[in-house]
Amino acid sequence: MKKCGLILLSLALATTGLAQGNFQVLALKGSVQLDGQGLRVGTRLAPTQQLVVGQGAYLSLAHKSGKAMEIPAGTYQVQDLEQRLGRATGTTNQYARFVLNELTNPGASPEVARQRAKHMKKTGAVVRALGGSGVVYDFPLSSPVYGRWVALRWHTSQERLYPQYKVIISDLSEAVLHTQVVQLPQLMVDLEHPQLAKAQQLIFKVLPLNAQGEAIGSAEAVDGCAVQRVDPRAAARIRADLADLQDEEAATTALGQVMQASYFEEKGFYADAVYAYEKALELSGGAEQYQLLYQAFMARGGWGNGQ
């Protein structure tokens, strides 16, 4: 099982449309060939074909049983892959079903999600430049958070690029706990950082800096976005849910992270969903199919520009 990096998505339904073969391509990135020809999403693999996954490439497949797997670099006979599927271990199926349906649905797109979002209302779903700074957060304005990491992203409302940004992290009383200057419009925040570990609620504010390093706007005048740590009882429930959702090996894969993102979105833990999507893109090398799922998630919530 470890040789093929299995993700044991214990789906309640069988994958449809696999009459020509037992496997179908869910997502891919880089050099992947089937009998010497390139692959694309939705391609079905016949048992007699040979699959070659290049070094640094990414490939995930769905099996007709409803299970899914990631294939590391190497050469494989398709008929041999079934022996590596193993036994599904998860019991929470709705999130795996959602992910598989989204990946195999050609009509799923960020634009469809935006239309759907018009009929939905979600806490913190606000798209606007905040406090006159010209910064728009690609992040929920308020969200509970379970995990250790927060993947904070933003863009400018007028598509203007700045040389640097200053991120200010404070507690609910607005006491500044940490500041950091970054060149890119993003920051991975470790909630276990010594300066942040004791705060139950954290507020993030971003100020663009000009070429002279001066802030555009003031921290007092800029709105921020906030996360609130879950209490120990809620954290225990989430740990139990995630243990049912997938085993530890599956949780470390890109497809496993996408499934976690679906779980966190459904439960309202949008900050954790953002981080899970970011990890999925990192682990898959930026697979386009996962990028589209991420954009659709952002569009459903109405955060940032849905990208």
CA–CA dist 88, 66 (Å, integer): 10
**For residue 171, what pLDDT is reported?**
94
pLDDT in tens, 236-282: 999 999 988 877 777 889 988 998 999 999 999 999 999 999 999 99
Q: Is residue 127 part of a domain?
A: no
In the chain, how long is the greatest CA-to-CA distance? Answer: 65
Residues 205 and 255 in one domain: no
Of 229, 245, 267, the one marking the end of a domain is: 229
Helix (H, G, I), strand (E, B), or coil: what is residue 33?
A: strand
Up-side HSE of residue 21: CA atoms within 13 Å toward CB?
A: 21
At 9, is the pLDDT very low, low, confident or very high (cuts 50, 70, 90)?
Answer: very low
Burial call 261-280: b when 16+ CB within 10 Å, e when fewer: bbbbbebebbbbbbbbbbbb
Query: Residues with Cβ < 8 Å from 306, sequence gap 6 or more?
Result: 110, 113, 114, 295, 296, 298, 299
Asked if 154 and 79 sit in the same domain, the reply is no
Which of the pair, 73 or 221, is modelled with greater confidence?
A: 73
Beta-strand ranges (E) seen in the chain are 6-7, 23-29, 32-34, 37-38, 44-45, 50-53, 58-63, 68-70, 74-77, 135-137, 142-145, 149-156, 164-170, 176-182, 186-190, 201-209, 225-229
Q: Which two tokens stand for residue 238?
A: 């989430």
Q: Give residue 121's pLDDT.
A: 41
| One domain for residues 116 and 250 | yes
pLDDT of residue 64: 81
Confidence at residue 156, expressed as pLDDT on a 0 to 100 scale? 83
Residue pair 280/102 in contact by the 8 Å Cβ criterion: no
Same domain assignment for residues 207 and 279: no
Residue 126 located in a structural domain? no
Residues 116 and 146 in one domain: no
Look at the block and give the residue holding tokens 């996408």.
258
- What is the tens place of the pLDDT at every residue in 174-206? 899 999 999 999 999 999 999 999 999 999 999
pLDDT in tens, 113-131: 445 444 444 434 344 445 4
pLDDT, one tens digit per residue, over 92-114 is 456 666 777 777 665 555 455 44
Which amino acid is it at 250? A
Per-residue pLDDT tens for 28-82?
A: 999 999 999 998 888 899 999 999 999 999 999 888 877 788 899 999 999 999 8
- Going by pLDDT thresholds of 50, 70 and 90, the confidence category of residue 211 is confident
If one compares 209 and 161, the residue with the highest pLDDT of the two is 209
Q: Which domain holds residue 239?
A: 110-121+232-301
pLDDT for residue 18: 43
In this structure, the answer to whether residues 144 and 176 fall within a common structural domain is yes
**Would residue 198 count as lying in a domain?**
yes
Nearby residues of 106 by Cβ (< 8 Å), 6 or more positions away: 42
Report how far residue 303's alpha carbon sits from residue 298's, in angstroms, rounded to the nearest whole number.
5
